[in-house]
Amino acid sequence: MLRKSVSAFAVATCLVLATQANAEDASNDATTGAEEIVVIGSGQTRSVSTLVPENLDTLPPGTSVQKALNFLPGVSAQSIDALGVNEQSLTLQVRGFSTTHLGYTLDGIPLGDGAYNNYNGLTISRALISENLGRADLATGIAGLGIASTSNLGGALTYITSDPRRDMGAQISQSFGSENALRTFVRFDTGEYGGFSAYLSGQYTEQDLFVNQGADKKSTGKQFNGKLKYQFDGGTISAFVDISRTNQADNAYISKDMLSRLGWDWGGYSPNWDAYVDLAYCTVTGP
């Protein structure tokens, strides 16, 4: 009985050793057959959504960058006009935070807080023609401390201008719409020569109010963008120029009761300012 037990133990030991040897051989084969995998990317410490120029291709030419932000999750951008260029009526909400609670930069340069008639900088529509957008990154939640803004409580929008194209070329866009709407956009790229490249672009817009208003009825806008870029072995140097002249006529904000009494195309009291003064003193007896 003792010999049988020893023999059985010896056989079991051989089987275990053989199994371990086979496992080691398989492990060695798997190790020698593995390939090196390299992952290159940039990390983000918070939730970031990106708007690219291809998003604007599905919208009418001249649509403001703010209006296009509706493509991003958690964003609601509303305006009284279809293109989102009327600054007085434009509102922006990002996950419950309003326009003035967000930070804005263009190529790292601080913009204003996005409010109408603000005192601390431009809105993105005044600073950049929408066709010249390279990218817009929206960081939701509390934005990074590296963003140059004092209003980034609820997040930040960092806009990047597009670079000049490597090949010489021109882009022309012409749009027409109701209420005598007109928009012309022109861009010319020089192409790259010895590391230098540049583009010049401009737009002209005009549109009448949809209401029957005798005075201050037409909105007009003239804007110029230019960018110069020099790329060399040690890095890149770029300069961006913007000139904007805008005159906007605003539609009246009327209630449902006013709509029923005055009509949908009522345009306010301009140029009948006496009626406006009478209203202020509560002496109006008519509609």
**What span, in angstroms and rounded, lies between the C-alpha atoms of 66 and 83?**
9
Task: For residues 33 and 68, give the distance between their C-alpha atoms in angstroms, rounded to a whole number.
Answer: 49
The two structure tokens encoding residue 161 = 């201008």
C-alpha separations of 177 from 252, 259, 286 in Å: 21, 25, 35
Quote the pLDDT of residue 107.
92
Q: For position 269, what pLDDT does the model report?
A: 66
Determine the pLDDT at residue 155. Answer: 81
Q: What SS3 class is residue 266?
A: strand
CA-based nearest residue to 138, from 94, 87, 99: 94
Half-sphere exposure of 199 (CA within 13 A, CB side): 23
What kind and span of H or E run contains 215? Answer: none
Q: Phi then psi for 185, rounded to 5 degrees?
A: -130, 135
83-107, pLDDT tens digit by residue?
888 888 888 888 888 888 888 899 9
Q: What CATH superfamily classification does 48-161 receive?
A: TonB-dependent receptor, plug domain (2.170.130.10)
For residue 164, what pLDDT is reported? 96
Pick out the chain residues at pLDDT < 50.
Answer: 1-21, 23
Cβ atoms of 225 and 171 closer than 8 Å:
no
Cα–Cα distance measured from residue 69 to residue 218, given in angstroms and rounded to the nearest whole number: 27
The residue extents of the domains of the chain are 48-161, 169-247, 253-287
Q: What residues contact 91, with CB distance under 8 A and at least 6 apart?
A: 76, 77, 78, 79, 98, 99
Residue 30: its pLDDT value, please? 53
- Take residue 85 and report the two structure tokens written for it: 């260029």
